[in-house]
Amino acid sequence: MRIYECADYSAMSRQAANIISAQVILEPQCVLGLATGSTPIGTYEQLVEWYKKGDLSFAGVRSVNLDEYRGLSAEHDQSYRYFMQTHLFDHVDIRRENTNVPNGMAEDPAAECARYDQIIRDLGGIDLQLLGMGHNGHIGFNEPTDYFPLGTHLVDLTQSTIEANKRFFASEADVPRQALTMGVGSIMSAKSVLVVVSGADKAAIVRSAFCGPITPQVPASILQLHPHVTLVGDRAALTEIRKEGVAVCG
């Protein structure tokens, strides 16, 4: 695992965008696994800036998003399809038909999950998977549990995740209680994984995920077994992991 320590959120976002842009430049038809949430926003903003400068093109890129809330349409302003359109897709030259997000309105969630797994297989797998990480160690919406789910599946969100996401909704009651999420098996099948973390409130879970035991109670801990993981964090988020003597790049 390679770890980059950045001075602040802006520097973290730029470093992560550098890694993604290198992937796109070296392999213009690559498959990007994309994440939502507050942490990747700066990374997407940097990619959009470089696109507008003419330094980057997404014309051949295919993408698969990690997850989507169940019960939210693509037009809902808190859906993850809407998030991706707002923060990245609408501002670059990626083709709409090359972008994939689970359908949160699917009447049969199991069939939708199977369909999504088939999309990933048909694309030949994911070349670079971008991940954030929740305070409880969830990646995508793979919450702490007794096993590592393999494929895309329907999940009940934990109270801590609902609490973390309620700031985006009018009230806690409006936060969806379920989501469709790519499984840990799909994430681990990506050729490379890029994890972005920011803030002192993530320091403890970063240490648990990358220096603690591998356990489904900390879903991100499975990434210790992936051969090509890059962790990019600001100084505050990496405070605890540095105490373990882990080598970091400045």
Collapsed DSSP state (helix, strand, coil) of residue 164 = helix
Decide: 64 and 100 in contact? Cβ < 8 Å. yes
**174-210 core/surface letters (b: 16 or more CB in 10 A; e: else):** ebbeebbbbbbebbbbbbbbbbbbbeeebbebbbbbb
136 part of the active site:
yes
18 part of the active site:
no
Decide: 238 and 5 in contact? Cβ < 8 Å. yes
Determine which one of 100, 136, 142, 165 is catalytic: 136
Determine which one of 100, 143, 153, 234 is catalytic: 143
Strand (E) or helix (H) holding 51: helix 41-52
138 part of the active site:
yes
Return the DSSP state at 249: B
Q: Which residues pair with residue 63 across a beta bridge? A: 32, 99
Report the chain's terminal Cα–Cα distance, integer Å. Answer: 15
What type of residue sits at position 76? Answer: H
Determine which one of 138, 142, 165, 234 is catalytic: 138
**Burial (CB count within 10 angstroms: exposed 0-12, middle 13-18, buried 19+), residue 162:** middle
112 part of the active site:
no
The residues carrying an active-site annotation are: 67, 136, 138, 143
